[in-house]
Structure 1
Amino acid sequence: MTVKEFRLPDVGEGVAEGELVSWLVAPGDRVEEDQPVAEVETDKALVEVPSSYDGVVEELFVEEGEVVPVGDVIISFRVGGADGASADAESGDTKPTDAEPDDSEPTSVEAESGSPSRRTFAPPSVRRLARELGVDLSAVDGSGPGGRVDERDVREHADAEGSDPDEDDATDPKPVEMDTGDRKSAVSKRGSAEGAGATTAAEPGSGPEPAGRDRTLSTPATRKLANDLGVDLDDVPTDETREGEAFVAEEHVRAYAEASARPDDEAAPPAGEGGSGVETEPTPADPATDAPGETIPYRGVRRTIGERMEQSKFTAPHVTHHDTAEVDALVAARERLKPRAAEVGVKLTYLPFVMKAVLAGLREYPILNSELREEAEEIVLKDEYHFGVAVATDAGLMVPVIEDVDEKGLFELAAEVSDLASRARDRSLAPEELRGSTFTLTNFGAIGGEYATPIINYPETAVLGLGAVEKRPVVRERSGDGTGHEVVPASTLPLSLSIDHRVVDGAVAAEFANVVMDHLEEPLLLLNE
C-alpha cells in the first residue's frame, strides 16, 4: 500500500488559485480514477476536480472555503495493496483537468478483463453512470466511433444483465443521477443537520406537485443549493433537458422551494414568466443569500467582474444615450410567432428581435462594432457580429456570447440565448463561450427599471441596455382631422446606449439608436436581417 498526494491541478488557462467550495468525499471513502472529489471555484468557473487514482481517501489537507494555489497538496489517497487498486500515475504527479469537464472528449482505461491490449473509451459522465448502475465498462461494447462507449451502451448493458433497477422502463432514456447516491459531500458524511435533511421533500398540499423522477441531471452548485434548502432535486419540476434527460438549474430549485412554502392559493408563476421586461433569460441573484452583517469574500468571479468593470470605466470615457421605442407592432408580431416557436420547442422572447434590430444598426454604423487598440493607435471595425448577453448569476454578472447573429434566425437565436443563459447561471459554460463578443446587450428591464447607464464590456466600444416593455402614456397626433394631439397608452421599450466617446460621437450614437428603433417599431424591416 502506498500513500499518494494529490495536488490541485491547473483547472483553467491562466488560473493561479482556486477556492475549495466543497469536498465530495471524506477520509475512508473509496474512490475511483476520474471520480470527482472536490468542487473548486476559480475566477472563471466552478469545476469538479477528479481523482487521478483508484484507492481510499487518506486525508483532506484543505478546509472548505480556503483559497488554494495551483500545485498545493489538497488530498491524499491509499493506493495499491488490499485497500486500493494500483496507481497508474507516477508518485506526486497529477493529471491536468480542464476548467470545464468536456464529456465530448472521452478518456480511456485499460480493460480489466479480456485482452490486455483492449482499451475502453468513455467520457466522465458515462463512467459515473456505469458506477451507479454497477456496470463494468470493460465489458460494454461501444457503439460510437472507435468503440467509444456512450450512456445508451451502458444502460442497454445494464438492462441485459438485469442490473437496471427500473426494468419496466428499460427502453426509456434515463438521466444520470447526479444529486443522490453514495457520493455525498464531506459535510453530510460527518452527520451535519443540513446533510440529514437534505433530501426532505415538500409536504403534500404545501406547494407544487413534485415531479418524482428517478434521476435528475444538475450541477454541483445546484446540488449544494438543494441541500441547503432541503429540496429533493427529483421532485423539482423542469422542462429543461440535456441530451434528452431532465435537467434542473438553480432557479428551478429556488422557485420550487419558494412555492412549496406558500399556501396553495399563492402558487408561483411558471418558470420564465412573470414580469414585463424583455423576457431574456437573465435573472437576478437571490438577495436572500446575503444576510445583514455578513462578510462576503471578494474573490473568484466577483473579483474578476470588479476588475473588468474598473478597467472599462476608468479607461473608456462613457456617454449614455437614452431613447424609447414604441413597440405595439413588435408585441403583436411576437404574439403571432410564439405558437409557431412553441411547436419547435422554443420560447420566443423579445431579445432575438432586438438583436436583429441592433444588427441592422451596426451594419449602417459599423463604428459601434469596433475595438480601439491604443498601443497600435488604430480602431478595428469588426466584420463579424458576436453579441454578448449579460446574465445575472449568484456569482455575479456573466456575458455568454451568441456568435454570428447575422447568420441565424429568430427561433435559433431564442434557443441559443436560453441555453447559454441557463448554463451561465449553473456555471457550466466553457471559457470560450464567454469570449469574442463584439457588442453587448444587457436587460435590466427583466428585473424592473426603465433606464440605466450600463458599463461597456471592454474592449468593445458600445453596450445597449434594455428596459421593461410596458404600457406607458405617449402623445400621438389625433386621428382624423389632424388638428391636435392625444395621450394614448402604448407598449414602449426604453433603450440605454453607452458608448466609448473616444471612438463613437454622440450624434452617431443617436443615429444608430434611431435605426434600431425603426426596426423595432416596424418588425417587417427585420426580414432584411
Structure 2
Amino acid sequence: MGSKDFKLPDVGEGVAEGELVSWLVGPGDTVEEDQPVAEVETDKALVEVPSPYNGTVKELHVEEGTMVPVGDVIITYEVEGEGDESAEAEPEPEVEETAEADAEASAEAETAESEQAESSAKGGRVFAAPSARRLARELGVDIAAVSGSGPSGRVTDADVRQAAESEAGASASAETESEAQDGDGPRDVDVDRKSSVTKRGEAGNGQQPSDVEAAGRDRTLAAPATRRTAKEQGVDLNDVPATEMRDGEAFVSAAAVTEYAEAQQAAQEADAQAVAEAGAVADEETASATSEGGISGERIPYRGVRRTIGEAMQNSKFTAPHVTHHDSTDVSALVELRAELKEVAAERDVRLSYMPFVMKAIAAALKQYPYMNATLDEENEEIVLRDEYHIGVATATDAGLMVPVVENVDQKGLLQIAEEMNDKIERARDRSIGRDELRGSTFTITNFGVVGGEYATPIINYPEVGIMGLGELKERAVVEDGDVVARHTLPLSLSIDHRILDGAVAAQFANKVMEYLQHPKLLLLE
C-alpha cells in the first residue's frame, strides 16, 4: 500500500478555480477509477470530478464550500502496489529551442515557463479582455497595475475606469517625477525588471541591451515560441524590456517574457494585499453601521455561475451599444400548423412548441441578412460574418440564466430541432449539460413570454450582435379590414449591437422573420 495525492484537475478551458460544493465520498471509502468523488462548481457549470485511481480514501483536504485553485491537493488515497508519494510528479516542461540562448539559459527559460504555466492555472496572473486592454491604452492606465475583480482576478472595464479615476486624483507633479519615485509598487517592479534584464545580458552570449524604453517600442523581435508564450500569458512583447539588441532592434527571449509576467504578478499580489487590508477596515465599518441600523439581511456569496452571468451581462451592456426594435406579428397560421403537427410529434415522443418554428425562421432570415449573424473580433478589428447558424436558447435555471446551443439549425428539421432543444434545456436545468453545449452560438433567442411578458430590452449574448426576445403568444384585438377581431399575435423585441448594425437593418431582419412566422409554410422552401 502507498499514498497518492489527487490534485483538483483542470475541469474546463480557462477555469482556474472552483468551489467544492459537496463530497461524494468520505475517509475510508473504497473508490474505483472514474467514480465521481466530488461536485465542483466553476464559473461555468457544476461538474462531477472523477477519481483517477482505484483505492481507499485516506484523507479529504478541503472542506465543502471552499474555493479551490486548480492544482491543489484535494484527496489522499491509499493505493495498492504504489510507493508513498507526497505529490504527483509535475509534467515535464515543454522544451523551447532558441538560437540566442546557451544550454543553461534554455534550462532557466523552461523552468520559468513551467512555473508560470502552473501560476496561470491558479489565476495568479493578470488577465483582461481585449476591451479592457484597449480602454486601458485609451485612458493611459497600466493594465498590469490594475487589480481585477472578475473571475480568477480578470481585469474588467470597470476596474480600468476605477484605476484611471484613482490616477486622476494624484498630484500633477507625479507624472514628471514618476521615474524618481520609489514608493510606488508598479514602478519598483519596473526597476526590478530592468536589473533582471541586465543580469541576463551579462550571463548570455548576446550583446548588452540598449537603453530603449520597452513602452516606447512598436516592433520587437522574438522567436515564434516566445510569441506563443507571450500570447498565453497575456503579455505585450513591446512592453517587455529587451534581452539584447539585434541589428538595432530589440530582441526578447522567452525567459524575459516569463520574468516580466512574474513581475506583474508580484505587483498585482501587492495590490491585492493592500485591497484586502482596506477591505478588512471596510468590513469593520460595515459591521458597525449594520449594528447601528444600517444594511442588514441575508448575505449570499456572489460567485460561481451567478457571478459569471452577471459579469457577462455587464460586459455586453457596457461594450456593445444596444438598441432594441419592437414589433408584433399575426401568427394565426402558425398556431393552426403547430396544432396539426403537435399530434404527429407526440407519436414520435417529441414535444413540439413554437420555439423550433421561430428558430427555423430566424436561421432563414440570418442567411439573407449576414451581418445579423456576425461577430466582432475586437482584437483584430474585424467583423466576422459567420457561415454557421447556431441558435442559443436562453434558459432560466436555479443557478441563473444559461444558453444551450442548437447547432446548424438551418440543416435540421422541426422535430430534430425540438428534440435536441428539449433535451439540452432539461439538462441545463438539472445542471448536467456539458460546457461545450453552452457556447458557440451565433444568435440567441430569449422567451420572456412564458412568464407573461410582452416586450423587453434583452441584453445581447456578447460577442454576438443580436438577440430576439419573444413575448407571450396569445389572442389580442387587432383591426382587420376595418373590423376589430381577435387574432393570435406574437410580440418581438430585437436588440442589436449598434456598432455593427443600423436600425434599418434590424427592422428589415425583423420583418423577414415575421414574414416566415405569418406564412410558416414558406419554411418548407428553406
TM-score w.r.t. length of structure 1: 0.58
Spell out, residue by residue over 1:51-105, the C-alpha distance to the aligned partner (whole angstroms, 9 max, x if none). Answer: 23333222222111111111112222233xxxxx334996522899xxxxxxxxx
Partner of 1:167: none
CA distance, structure 1, for counterparts of residue 5 and residue 398 of structure 2 = 33
Counterpart selection for 1:391 from 380, 389, 395: 395
* Equivalent position amino acid for 2:53 in 1: Y
Q: Which runs of 4+ in 1 moved over 6 A?
A: none
Q: Which is higher, the Rg of structure 1 or of structure 2? A: 2
Structure 1 residues not aligned, in runs of 5+: 80-84, 97-291, 478-484
Counterpart selection for 1:314 from 309, 318, 327: 318
- What SS does structure 1 have at the residue aligned with 2:461? coil
With over 3 angstroms needed to count, the CA separation of the structure-2 counterparts of 1:486 and 1:434, relative to structure 1, is: same
**Pairing 1:209-288 to 2, within 5 Å after superposition:** none
With over 3 angstroms needed to count, the CA separation of the structure-2 counterparts of 1:91 and 1:316, relative to structure 1, is: same
Q: Percent identity?
A: 68
**Pairing 1:149-228 to 2, within 5 Å after superposition:** none
CA distance, structure 2, for counterparts of residue 406 and residue 422 of structure 1 = 23
Say if 2:3 and 2:82, in contact at 8 Å, map to a contact too.
no
**Pairing 1:110-509 to 2, within 5 Å after superposition:** 293-477=297-481, 485-509=482-506
How many residues in Structure 1 have an aligned counterpart in Structure 2? 322
CA distance, structure 1, for counterparts of residue 507 and residue 35 of structure 2 = 55
With over 3 angstroms needed to count, the CA separation of the structure-2 counterparts of 1:88 and 1:496, relative to structure 1, is: farther
CA distance, structure 1, for counterparts of residue 51 and residue 378 of structure 2 = 45
Partner of 1:231: none
With over 3 angstroms needed to count, the CA separation of the structure-2 counterparts of 1:381 and 1:55, relative to structure 1, is: closer
The alpha-carbon deviation at position 473 of structure 1 amounts to 1.3
CA distance, structure 2, for counterparts of residue 390 and residue 490 of structure 1 = 27
CA distance, structure 1, for counterparts of residue 318 and residue 334 of structure 2 = 37
Spell out, residue by residue over 1:198-225, the C-alpha distance to the aligned partner (whole angstroms, 9 max, x if none). Answer: xxxxxxxxxxxxxxxxxxxxxxxxxxxx
Say if 1:54 and 1:87, in contact at 8 Å, map to a contact too.
no
CA distance, structure 1, for counterparts of residue 313 and residue 48 of structure 2 = 28
Alpha-carbon RMSD:
2.1
Partner of 1:76: 76
CA distance, structure 1, for counterparts of residue 388 and residue 74 of structure 2 = 44
Spell out, residue by residue over 1:480-522, the C-alpha distance to the aligned partner (whole angstroms, 9 max, x if none). Answer: xxxxx22222111110000011111111111111111111111
Partner of 1:64: 64
Say if 2:2 and 2:84, in contact at 8 Å, map to a contact too.
no
The alpha-carbon deviation at position 336 of structure 1 amounts to 0.3
CA distance, structure 2, for counterparts of residue 62 and residue 308 of structure 1 = 29
Q: Does 2:496 correspond to 1:520?
A: no
- What SS does structure 2 have at the residue aligned with 1:424? helix
CA distance, structure 2, for counterparts of residue 375 and residue 74 of structure 1 = 38
CA distance, structure 1, for counterparts of residue 440 and residue 24 of structure 2 = 34
The alpha-carbon deviation at position 436 of structure 1 amounts to 1.6
Say if 2:374 and 2:465, in contact at 8 Å, map to a contact too.
yes
CA distance, structure 1, for counterparts of residue 84 and residue 507 of structure 2 = 62
With over 3 angstroms needed to count, the CA separation of the structure-2 counterparts of 1:7 and 1:451, relative to structure 1, is: same
Partner of 1:86: 81
CA distance, structure 2, for counterparts of residue 408 and residue 46 of structure 1 = 30
Specify which structure has the higher proportion of helix. 2
Spell out, residue by residue over 1:321-342, the C-alpha distance to the aligned partner (whole angstroms, 9 max, x if none). Answer: 0111111111000000011111
Say if 1:44 and 1:300, in contact at 8 Å, map to a contact too.
yes
CA distance, structure 1, for counterparts of residue 84 and residue 385 of structure 2 = 49
CA distance, structure 2, for counterparts of residue 90 and residue 336 of structure 1 = 66
With over 3 angstroms needed to count, the CA separation of the structure-2 counterparts of 1:31 and 1:462, relative to structure 1, is: same
CA distance, structure 1, for counterparts of residue 423 and residue 385 of structure 2 = 29
TM-score w.r.t. length of structure 2: 0.59
CA distance, structure 1, for counterparts of residue 424 and residue 413 of structure 2 = 16
- What SS does structure 2 have at the residue aligned with 1:406? helix
Say if 1:445 and 1:469, in contact at 8 Å, map to a contact too.
yes
CA distance, structure 2, for counterparts of residue 345 and residue 88 of structure 1 = 54
